[in-house]
Amino acid sequence: MTRKGQLWISGIGLLLAAVAIWLRDRQWLAAPEDSLPLAFGLPLAFLLGRPWVPATDPVPKKAQLLAIAGAAVFAVGWLIGNITVLALGWTLLSFLWAFFGFAPQPRRGRLALLALLSFPWLVIEWQSIGWAFRLSSAAVAEMFFRLVEIPATREGTHLNVMGVPIEIEAACAGWNLLQLTLLAGIALGAHEIRPTRRFILLLCLLPGIVWIANLLRILILSGIALSFDTQTAGGAIHGLTGLAVLGAVLAMTKGLSILLAPAPVVSSKIVRSS
């Protein structure tokens, strides 16, 4: 079989394995509108990784050993039903497929992060992070209301602002949207920032950007609940603020990308020879 044929077969195998991961744990079906958009991370990574020109060099021994390790991790994840382990194993296999199967392309290695975030492991299996995310947002929101002299009390993630109860649930705090905003921010940063060190700096700052955007969402929804009622804040406006958070994260990521990797200045001066 030709090298190109091997790549096609292994690529189809990876695609089928990705579908199997999504079907292994169907908890995401409770809110498919929050999770299914993550699947677009895979075709996005494929588009950003172009051109896909098959490599001519033989596959090194270390790549074969890593592929066996990735398959073992995937198998363990399947046996224990852990989406995180499955996603890690699949990401390793897809990285090896892209890195050793095709001619080198700058920044293609970063796309492994998009592949990892294209599965709903964060929302399904890491609820403890979501709790910390919501609790810290509630604490800062309480501090803000007190700073502007609005009576507010808090018990855990439950706020009482001027007698209006506001419960910061997973959806309100943007937890269901967190992974999608991280994926979108990483995709934009991988495309915009060339230096690796500056891209790593963006990765370190991106969770903070997402947290700030979601805090603003909580404050806006709280303001709507105080001005109108909690039903108004929980209706269509709730979904619109989620889209606003995604847009805000992309805008802040774009601005940070410009600061970290400004476009080169081209001189317009004309040099005249004497």
Helix/strand/coil for 166: strand
* Closest to 15 (Cα-Cα) out of 35, 49, 39, 36: 39
Instruction: Compute the C-alpha angle 267/268/271, nearest 5°.
Output: 95
Task: Give the residue carrying structure tokens 């370190």.
Answer: 204
- In contact, 71 and 17? CB cutoff 8 Å: no
Backbone angles phi, psi at 159, to 5 degrees: -105, 145
Of 269 and 218, the one with more pLDDT: 218
Q: What sections of 148-272 are H helices per DSSP?
A: 175-192, 196-227, 230-233, 236-260
Share of the chain above pLDDT 90, in %: 20
* Closest to 250 (Cα-Cα) out of 193, 186, 161: 186
72 Cβ contact partners less than 8 Å away, ≥ 6 residues apart: 89
Of 246 and 122, the one with more pLDDT: 122
- What does the pLDDT read at residue 58? 83
Backbone angles phi, psi at 81, to 5 degrees: 70, 35
- What does the pLDDT read at residue 169? 67
Tokens representing 74 are: 């995937």
The pairing of beta strand 152-155 with beta strand 158-161: antiparallel
The pairing of beta strand 158-161 with beta strand 164-167: antiparallel
Of 130 and 234, the one with more pLDDT: 130
* Closest to 88 (Cα-Cα) out of 75, 102, 106, 98: 75
Share of the chain above pLDDT 70, in %: 87
* Closest to 61 (Cα-Cα) out of 87, 96, 90, 112: 96
**What does the DSSP 8-state code read for residue 161?**
E
> CA-CA distances (angstroms) from residue 149 to 1, 212, 225?
73, 21, 17
- What does the pLDDT read at residue 93? 95
234 — pLDDT class (breaks 50, 70, 90) = low
- What does the pLDDT read at residue 3? 75
- In contact, 99 and 136? CB cutoff 8 Å: no
pLDDT tens digits, 199-231: 888 888 888 888 887 788 788 878 887 777 666
* Closest to 190 (Cα-Cα) out of 38, 46, 63: 46
In 62-170, at which residue ranges do the beta strands (DSSP E only) sit?
Answer: 152-155, 158-161, 164-167
pTM for this model (two decimals): 0.79
In the predicted model, what is the mean pLDDT of residues 25-38?
80
167 — pLDDT class (breaks 50, 70, 90) = confident
pLDDT tens digits, 60-102: 888 889 999 999 999 999 999 999 999 999 999 999 999 888 8
Least reliable range by pLDDT among 125-134, 173-182, 192-201: 173-182
Question: Alpha carbon 230 to chain centroid distance?
Answer: 29
In the predicted model, what is the mean pLDDT of residues 24-43?
82
Residue 162 has pLDDT above 80, yes or no: yes
Using CA atoms in the order 241, 247, 253, 257, what is the torsion angle rounded to 10 degrees? -160
Residue 56 has pLDDT above 50, yes or no: yes
Residue 269 has pLDDT above 70, yes or no: no
